[in-house]
Amino acid sequence: MEKLILRDEEFKGIAEIVEARSGIHLTNQKRNLVFNRLRPRLRSLKLDRFSDYLRLIREQPEELALALNLITTNVTKFFREEHHFRFLEEQVLPAVVPRGEIWRAWSAGCSTGEEAYSLAIICREGLGQKVKWRILATDINTHVLSVAQRGIYPHEAVAHLPRAMISKYFDIDGGTVKVKEFLKKSVWFRYLNLIEPYIPLRSPLDVIFCRNVFIYFTRETQRDVLMTFHRLLKVGGHLFLGHAESIPTDWQRQQGWVHLGQGVYKKVDGKAGR
Ligand SMILES: C[S@@+](CC[C@H](N)C(=O)[O-])C[C@H]1O[C@@H](n2cnc3c(N)ncnc32)[C@H](O)[C@@H]1O
């Protein structure tokens, strides 16, 4: 087999198709990452050239989906950026009152599900039975979604959580833990591409967590996705962004967001997304 090389025009071609399909912007610094993540796939297909693989992902949607599974970065953990869950627990959930409709939070870019299950734990503790609630959790990566749906993690994934929480919400089985069935039932995992113009979610939503996803998007994509979030959230609803992400102040004014600190934004009435 020939030595694999990722040439300029091949990288450019892959980056273009990845951005068009997912919004993920692959700068030149990501070249090694692309090479290392795709190389095993080329080897298993017995391809010697990235140009052949490029042709394949252009022609076969299933192969492109697989390439995206390999290229997306899916680092996550239970109660990551814990202050956001504290904010929910202390500032948002106590104000929720029983009403006809279901209270909904969306984990957008949920990866392997830890964020969504953390939200479910916080809701179970803070809303319990007094209000009907549901967690929607979506991602573009079909592999991480299947892990999320299974709800089985190595024990180390929960080692930083209080013991009482572990025994209440997880079944321990040797070196792994499994999310208990009653908690799993409150989380709804689905494939969803954030850059699609139509987002098939019932709105209005009460809370959106979209953390550590915007960092991979261009400013233009970020602005479009924010408009979608604005449209889907109810007035007074909250958006949570990751520690390295923020909404520029001119967009806050234009779209109708107020920054409450630490990546937490509140939707105020605005004309965005209409
Ligand atoms: C680093 S993980 C963040 C996981 C979790 N939100 C957290 O903060 O721990 C980023 C996730 O965004 C997903 N993603 C990237 N582009 C996406 C898109 N266009 N639509 C939906 N999900 C996307 C990736 O597949 C990945 O699972």
C-alpha distances in Å from residue 260, one per residue of 111, 165, 241: 26, 28, 12
User: Is 194 close to ligand 1, i.e. is its CB under 6 Å away?
Assistant: yes
Distance CA 257, CA 265 (A): 6
Intra-chain end-to-end CA distance of the chain, in Å = 54
| 83, two tokens | 């202050």
Note if 37 is an active site residue.
yes
Domain ranges for the chain: 8-71, 82-267
Given this structure, which CATH class describes domain 82-267?
Answer: alpha beta
CATH code for 8-71? 1.10.155.10
| 206, two tokens | 């009460």
User: Is 68 close to ligand 1, i.e. is its CB under 6 Å away?
Assistant: no
Identify the CA nearest to 185 among candidates 267, 255, 262, 116.
Answer: 116
The one catalytic residue in 37, 41, 124, 134 is 37
User: Is 213 close to ligand 1, i.e. is its CB under 6 Å away?
Assistant: yes
Distance CA 36, CA 112 (A): 21
Full pLDDT tens readout for the chain, 274 residues: 678 999 999 999 999 999 999 999 999 999 999 999 999 999 999 999 999 999 999 999 999 999 999 999 999 999 999 999 999 999 999 999 988 889 999 999 999 999 999 999 999 999 988 899 999 999 999 999 999 999 999 999 999 999 999 999 999 999 999 999 999 999 999 999 999 988 998 879 999 999 999 999 999 999 999 999 999 999 999 999 999 999 999 999 999 999 999 999 999 986 544 3
Between the CA of 97 and the centroid of ligand 1 the distance, in Å, is 31
- What is the value of pTM for the model shown? 0.96
| 159, two tokens | 């080692």
Distance CA 30, CA 59 (A): 24
* 22 CA closest ligand 1 atom index: 19
